[in-house]
Amino acid sequence: MNEKEMWKAFCMTSGVSEDAPYEAWAFGDECDKLADLVKCGIKRGTSSAYEIYAIEGEEIPREGEYNVILDSSDKAVCVTKTLRVYVTPFSEVDSRHARLEGEGDLSLGYWRRVHERFFTEELHSVGMPFSDTMPVVCEEFELVYPFVTT
């Protein structure tokens, strides 16, 4: 299913207008694995280097926005709704956010190791260094389609 088909299916079941804005994107690292964690309801948060938004001239996510999450083949996996967005230094990302990201052993130590490597590579590609004080965009979201059934 492509992003437009998934958006239409979500709108038909939710009452959200098909004309409502949404973003379609894939996670930057291990996008298939992370998309599956979202679809299973395990991953409910993500983080990004604030400086990348500035360099690319993009706005940071906003509460209430919808996202169609894509896999590495640009196939739609699920739809999320952004619940909370905040910017904090890398060194101040807390264990709560690490758990929401749903990766590894869910610990802050794991989150820091993985994200320091990812942010270092990402920032290096635009000629910037990684720093513990760099601003990080933390986003919390909920899975809204397809619905997780237990």
> pLDDT tens digits for 100-117?
999 999 999 999 999 999
Q: In the chain, which stretches have pLDDT less than 50?
A: 150
Give per-residue pLDDT as tens, 10-24.
999 999 999 999 999
The CATH code of domain 3-145 reads: 3.10.400.10
Helices (H) and strands (E) in the chain, counts: 5, 5
pLDDT at 63: 98
Q: How many whole angstroms from its chain centre is CA 130?
A: 20
pLDDT of 148:
63
Q: Locate tokens 């992370």: which residue? A: 34
Indicate the pTM of the whole model: 0.92
Give the pLDDT of residue 29: 81
What secondary structure letter does DSSP report for 61?
Answer: P
